[in-house]
């Protein structure tokens, strides 16, 4: 997506989710295992401020902004739960070059939550090789900046500020590689 949909501070969640669902429905590359399809799509946010609530991302997707200090996904008033989370399999999800801003909404539980969703039929609570690069997750007073329950996650330049918990990796997993990260 290249259009600036942030004019007038309007909630654009349904448009972004439609884009994520469209590029994430690749049925030509089936995977053997619990998740029937893999996607390899990318959704791009040019520099700007985008008001969203909850986004659900398929495995093997990429969400990226123009660069960290120029692209912000801001929680709309009344947002509850994680702002960005996987659809049951966090494998190969890449999120990069943007700020996740919770807007000080008390119902936001995480800026990014990967691998924690287990209610998806046939889904995996884990996921392998999630990538987070040049991310800041902030102003989530009662939640986590980054909440993970992944087998392997690589993070470069990932920061949290103004969150109850900064970066949290739950219940093990094989490896969390964090370079230049802080809470």
pLDDT in tens, 147-174: 988 778 889 999 999 999 998 887 556 6
Band (pLDDT 50/70/90 cuts) for residue 100 is: very high
C-alpha 107/C-alpha 53 separation (Å) is 11
Interval 22-27 mean pLDDT? 66
DSSP tag of 56? E
Q: Does residue 31 have a pLDDT over 80?
A: no
Give the max Cα distance, the chain: 44
Tens digits of residue pLDDT in 101-113: 999 999 999 999 9
Q: Is the pLDDT of residue 119 over 50?
A: yes
Residue 6: count of CB within 10 angstroms of its CB: 19
147 DSSP β-pair partners: 113, 168
Structure tokens at 122: 């046939």
Residue 2: pLDDT band by 50, 70, 90 thresholds?
A: very low
The rounded mean pLDDT for the chain is 82
Return the closest-CA partner of residue 135 out of 109, 118, 159: 159
Region 23-46: mean pLDDT is 61
Is residue 5's pLDDT more than 60?
no
Q: Which of 54, 156, 50 is nearest to 97 (CA)?
A: 156
Residue 87 or 140, more confident = 140
Q: What percent of the chain has pLDDT over 70?
A: 77
Percent of the chain with pLDDT over 90: 51
Whether residue 28 is predicted with pLDDT greater than 50 in this model: the reply is: no
């Amino acid at each position: 997506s290249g259009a600036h949909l942030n004019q007038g501070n309007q909630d654009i969640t349904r448009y972004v989710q439609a884009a994520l669902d469209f590029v994430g429905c690749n049925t030509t590359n089936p995977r053997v295992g619990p998740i029937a399809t893999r996607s390899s799509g990318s959704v791009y946010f040019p520099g700007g401020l985008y008001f969203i609530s909850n986004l659900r991302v398929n495995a093997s997707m990429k969400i990226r902004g123009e660069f960290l200090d120029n692209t912000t996904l801001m929680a709309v008033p009344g947002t509850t739960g994680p702002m960005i989370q996987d659809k049951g399999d966090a494998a190969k999800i890449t999120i990069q070059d943007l700020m996740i801003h919770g807007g000080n909404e008390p119902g936001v539980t995480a800026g990014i939550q990967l691998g924690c969703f287990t209610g998806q039929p046939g889904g995996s609570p884990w996921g392998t090789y999630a990538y987070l690069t040049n991310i800041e997750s902030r102003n989530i007073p009662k939640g986590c900046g980054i909440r993970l329950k992944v087998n392997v996650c690589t993070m470069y330049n990932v920061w949290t500020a103004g969150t109850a918990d900064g970066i949290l990796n739950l219940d093990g997993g094989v490896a969390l590689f964090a370079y230049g990260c802080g809470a």
